[in-house]
């Protein structure tokens, strides 16, 4: 008897059950952490949607209009996200997944395999959207005292709404993989992701949301929303989902749009299945071909490394890390994306008319330098958890080479530290100096911020390197998995706490200095002493975090051979 396609999903369910039964150390802490963060986000989304809908109900018809537009806009955003997510997920589930090597040698009908893979692709691509939409729609429903049918409509809308863009994304992947080898297609997708994110950023700049900061009148807000409408909008599933929900919010059933959603989802699934049966195997077969390596004749890296005052061991480790980084598009494309976001952040300071915004003028804008410092610290922590924390784990199955080489693990870890420190320091220091320059903060604060970034860089990179060695995941498939592990989350928590402590320790003496300067009053020796102690404590905490983090990492590596 041939079993239905859900049978092919069983190993994943059994695996999850087994994982839950056989807990590993730290699993409970991790579950509590993620669960806690999830609950806070859920509550925030619910409350935000509730508050906004509640406020809009004061404006009668205009409020209804805005709510309707808002729902449509919300779904439109997710439509783009789901399509892109579908492309990326389908590449993995349909072509690169390891278990395909087992399933494709079994007498499994192409149709069954397609349905199982597509179900997995839809689930993996859309769970985040569902998690976001559930509290948001609940908030809207509760604020409008919606009937129970609203929640049923929400389910009826979300399921086909998720299927349609994921089917489109999967079809794009099928096409891409048949044109390029899958591993090269993955590189292309990463670049497409960059373009996608870049275009969203440019779109945001074009519609200039900062106009809303003027908050002269509500009609401006409706004008702003109307720029998001176009003649094609009613043809999109996002519009149908928005209309269906809005109608059910009012207690009626929008059969036309519900029908449009379901029939389109069904038609897309059937068409995709036909295309998959025709082209999947040829695409999978192409995906077995290895891509041509990049930078194989990239000698300048060796030449530059040769000029650095490093020992042969450290030089080779550096060159190896850099080459691996450069050959993996999924690595550096994320860094480029972050860089683009940072540039937009800085660009905002240029385009914003700071004098028009009450909080950004006069003395208060100096305070903003600390927000900036926090932002730079957060960028630093994010880059560190994504690129520095997984550095030891990235050695993966090849770590035996390091462990059996005549080099000390201390040397190895410090090499990882310096490789991470230099780019992070340059990035965040440039960000801070440029932002403070554009804001026009006090010269004293500029110097304090610049010095704080140096200390913070050493502390966070040292901590990330050390914790990365303490909690390595050598079997992880990619660095993102390592960053999302228990150690990665622990690093982010400690990093955020450290940033807050640093801002407090630096903020108090800095603002004291500025206030006394504004009032043209002398500081006095006691106050000066207290300020110096505060700065000193910040410096000591940074250096201690750096050194203790590294020492703990070296010890953990040494302990591996015990």
Partner 1 sequence: MLGEPLTPLDSARDKPMIAIHDLVKQYGAFTAVDGISLDVKPGEIHGFLGPNGAGKTTTLRMIAGLLKPTSGRVEVNGHDVATEPELAKASLGFIPDRPFIYEKLTAGEFLRFHAGLYGMDGNGLVAGRVHEMLDLFELRRWEDELVESFSHGMKQRLVMCAAFLHRPQAVAVDEPMVGLDPRGARLIKDVFRRMSGHGVAILMSTHTLEVAQEMCHRISIILKGKIIAQGTVDDVRRMAGGGDDHLTSVFLKLTGGSALQEIDEVV
User: Out of 208, 218, 270, 289, which residue is the one contacting partner 1 (CB under 8 A)?
Assistant: 289
What own/partner pairs with CB < 8 Å and gap ≥ 24 does 229-232 have? Answer: 229/69
Between CA 247 and CA 251, with CA 249 as vertex, the angle to 5 degrees is 75
User: Which lies closer to partner 1 via its Cβ, residue 7 or residue 253?
Assistant: 7
Is 7 an interacting residue with respect to partner 1 (CB under 8 A)? yes
Where does residue 546 rank: exposed (0-12), middle (13-18), buried (19+ CB within 10 A)? Answer: buried
Q: How far is the CB of 39 from partner 1 (least distance, A)?
A: 27
Separation of alpha carbons 549 and 389, rounded Å: 12
Is 562 an interacting residue with respect to partner 1 (CB under 8 A)? no
Total of chain residues touching partner 1, rule CB under 8 A? 31
Binding segment for partner 1 among 106-114, 219-227, 510-518, 528-536 (CB under 8 A)? 106-114
User: Which lies closer to partner 1 via its Cβ, residue 97 or residue 430?
Assistant: 97
Q: Six-digit token pair at 400?
A: 């035996």
User: Which lies closer to partner 1 via its Cβ, residue 16 or residue 199?
Assistant: 16
Is 1 an interacting residue with respect to partner 1 (CB under 8 A)? yes
Q: How far is the CB of 201 from partner 1 (least distance, A)?
A: 37
User: Which lies closer to partner 1 via its Cβ, residue 13 or residue 493?
Assistant: 13
Q: Which of 20, 25, 140 is nearest to 71 (CA)?
A: 140
Residue 493 DSSP code: H
Q: How far is the CB of 288 from partner 1 (least distance, A)?
A: 6
Each residue 257-286 as x (binds partner 1 by CB under 8 A) or -, in order, gives ------------------------xx-xx-
User: Which lies closer to partner 1 via its Cβ, residue 253 or residue 281?
Assistant: 281
Q: Give the containing element (helix H, strand E) for 180.
A: none
- The answer to whether 238 and 257 are in contact (CB under 8 A) is no
Is 92 an interacting residue with respect to partner 1 (CB under 8 A)? no
What residue has token string 């969203």?
Answer: 200
Q: How far is the CB of 188 from partner 1 (least distance, A)?
A: 17
Binding segment for partner 1 among 4-12, 153-161, 414-422, 451-459 (CB under 8 A)? 4-12
What residue has token string 């704080």?
Answer: 452
Is 108 an interacting residue with respect to partner 1 (CB under 8 A)? yes
Q: How far is the CB of 109 from partner 1 (least distance, A)?
A: 6
Output phi, psi for 104, to 5 deg.
-75, -15
Q: Which of 115, 163, 165 is nearest to 276 (CA)?
A: 115
Q: How far is the CB of 111 from partner 1 (least distance, A)?
A: 11
Q: Six-digit token pair at 255?
A: 């059969």
- Which residues are within 8 A (CB) of 391 and not within 5 positions of it... i.e. 6 or more apart? 321, 416, 419, 420, 465, 468
State how far Cα 316 lies from the chain centre: 31
- The answer to whether 84 and 169 are in contact (CB under 8 A) is yes
Q: How far is the CB of 391 from partner 1 (least distance, A)?
A: 24
Binding segment for partner 1 among 99-107, 117-125, 353-361, 534-542 (CB under 8 A)? 99-107
Helix boundaries (H) for 208-328: 218-226, 237-249, 255-287, 300-307, 312-327
Binding segment for partner 1 among 16-24, 39-47, 201-209, 505-513 (CB under 8 A)? 16-24
Is 104 an interacting residue with respect to partner 1 (CB under 8 A)? yes
- Which residues are within 8 A (CB) of 219 and not within 5 positions of it... i.e. 6 or more apart? none
Q: How far is the CB of 394 from partner 1 (least distance, A)?
A: 20
Separation of alpha carbons 465 and 388, rounded Å: 6
User: Which lies closer to partner 1 via its Cβ, residue 276 or residue 442?
Assistant: 276
User: Out of 35, 44, 55, 101, which residue is the one contacting partner 1 (CB under 8 A)?
Assistant: 101
Is 34 an interacting residue with respect to partner 1 (CB under 8 A)? no
Is 296 an interacting residue with respect to partner 1 (CB under 8 A)? no
Is 231 an interacting residue with respect to partner 1 (CB under 8 A)? no
Separation of alpha carbons 95 and 329, rounded Å: 18
Q: How far is the CB of 96 from partner 1 (least distance, A)?
A: 12
User: Out of 98, 206, 519, 522, which residue is the one contacting partner 1 (CB under 8 A)?
Assistant: 98
Residue 407 DSSP code: S
Is 99 an interacting residue with respect to partner 1 (CB under 8 A)? yes
Is 2 an interacting residue with respect to partner 1 (CB under 8 A)? yes
Separation of alpha carbons 141 and 143, rounded Å: 6
Binding segment for partner 1 among 70-78, 100-108, 146-154, 516-524 (CB under 8 A)? 100-108
Q: Longest Cα pair distance anywhere in the chain, in angstroms? A: 90
Is 477 an interacting residue with respect to partner 1 (CB under 8 A)? no
Q: How far is the CB of 94 from partner 1 (least distance, A)?
A: 14
Output phi, psi for 43, to 5 deg.
-65, -40
Separation of alpha carbons 408 and 427, rounded Å: 30
Separation of alpha carbons 387 and 460, rounded Å: 12
Is 478 an interacting residue with respect to partner 1 (CB under 8 A)? no
Is 27 an interacting residue with respect to partner 1 (CB under 8 A)? no
Separation of alpha carbons 124 and 93, rounded Å: 9
Q: Which of 49, 254, 82, 269 is nearest to 156 (CA)?
A: 254
User: Which lies closer to partner 1 via its Cβ, residue 15 or residue 227?
Assistant: 15
Q: Six-digit token pair at 234?
A: 């009613």
User: Out of 105, 217, 296, 300, which residue is the one contacting partner 1 (CB under 8 A)?
Assistant: 105
Q: Six-digit token pair at 74?
A: 């919300």
Output phi, psi for 112, to 5 deg.
-65, -45
Is 10 an interacting residue with respect to partner 1 (CB under 8 A)? yes
User: Which lies closer to partner 1 via its Cβ, residue 15 or residue 408?
Assistant: 15
User: Out of 22, 299, 350, 519, which residue is the one contacting partner 1 (CB under 8 A)?
Assistant: 22
User: Out of 32, 41, 109, 152, which residue is the one contacting partner 1 (CB under 8 A)?
Assistant: 109
Residue ranges binding partner 1 (CB under 8 A): 1-3, 7-8, 10-11, 14-16, 18-19, 22, 98-99, 101-110, 281-282, 284-285, 288-289
């Amino acid at each position: 008897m041939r079993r239905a396609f859900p049978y092919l999903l069983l190993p994943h369910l059994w695996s999850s059950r087994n994982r839950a039964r056989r807990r590993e150390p730290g699993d409970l802490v991790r579950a509590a952490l993620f669960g806690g963060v999830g609950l806070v986000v859920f509550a925030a989304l619910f409350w935000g949607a509730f508050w906004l809908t509640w406020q809009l109900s004061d404006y009668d018809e205009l409020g209804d209009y805005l709510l309707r537009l808002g729902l449509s806009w919300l779904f439109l955003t997710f439509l783009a996200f789901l399509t892109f997510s579908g492309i990326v997920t389908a590449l993995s589930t349909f072509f690169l997944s390891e278990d395909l090597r087992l399933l494709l040698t079994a007498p499994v009908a192409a149709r069954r395999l397609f349905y199982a893979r597509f179900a997995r692709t839809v689930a993996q691509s859309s769970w985040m959207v569902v998690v976001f939409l559930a509290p948001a729609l609940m908030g809207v429903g509760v604020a409008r005292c919606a009937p129970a049918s609203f929640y049923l409509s929400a389910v009826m809308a979300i399921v086909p709404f998720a299927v349609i863009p994921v089917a489109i994304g999967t079809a794009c992947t099928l096409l891409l993989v048949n044109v390029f080898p899958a591993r090269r297609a993955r590189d292309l997708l990463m670049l497409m992701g960059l373009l996608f994110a870049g275009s969203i950023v440019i779109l945001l700049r074009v519609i200039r949301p900062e106009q809303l900061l003027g908050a002269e009148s509500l009609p401006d807000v409706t004008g702003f929303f109307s720029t998001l409408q176009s003649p094609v909008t009613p043809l999109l599933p996002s519009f149908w989902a928005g209309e269906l929900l809005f109608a059910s919010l009012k207690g009626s059933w929008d059969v036309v749009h519900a029908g449009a959603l379901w029939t389109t989802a069904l038609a897309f699934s059937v068409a995709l299945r036909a295309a998959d049966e025709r082209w999947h195997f040829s695409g999978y077969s192409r995906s077995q071909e290895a891509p041509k390596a990049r930078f194989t004749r990239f000698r300048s890296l060796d030449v530059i490394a040769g000029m650095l005052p490093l020992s042969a061991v450290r030089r080779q480790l550096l060159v190896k890390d850099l080459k691996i980084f450069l050959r993996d598009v999924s690595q550096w494309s994320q860094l480029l994306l972050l860089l683009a976001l940072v540039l937009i952040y800085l660009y905002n300071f240029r385009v914003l008319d700071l004098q028009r915004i009450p909080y950004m003028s006069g003395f208060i804008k100096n305070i903003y330098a600390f927000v900036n410092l926090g932002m730079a610290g957060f960028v630093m922590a994010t880059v560190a958890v994504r690129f520095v924390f997984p550095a030891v784990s990235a050695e993966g199955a090849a770590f035996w080479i390091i462990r059996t080489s005549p080099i000390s693990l201390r040397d190895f870890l410090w090499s990882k530290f310096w490789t991470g420190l230099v780019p992070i320091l340059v990035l965040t220091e440039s960000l801070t100096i440029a932002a403070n320059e554009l804001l026009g903060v006090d010269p004293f604060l500029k110097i304090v911020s610049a010095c704080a970034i140096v200390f913070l860089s050493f502390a966070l990179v040292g901590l990330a390197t050390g914790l990365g060695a303490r909690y390595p995941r050598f079997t992880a498939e990619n660095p993102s998995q390592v960053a999302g592990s228990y150690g990665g989350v622990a690093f982010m928590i400690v990093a955020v706490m450290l940033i807050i402590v640093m801002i407090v320790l630096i903020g108090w003496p800095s603002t004291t200095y500025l206030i006394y300067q504004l009032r043209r009053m002398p500081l006095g020796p006691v106050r000066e002493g207290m300020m110096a102690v505060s700065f000193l404590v910040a410096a000591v905490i940074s250096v201690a975090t750096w050194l203790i983090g590294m020492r703990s990492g070296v010890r953990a590596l040494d302990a591996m051979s015990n």
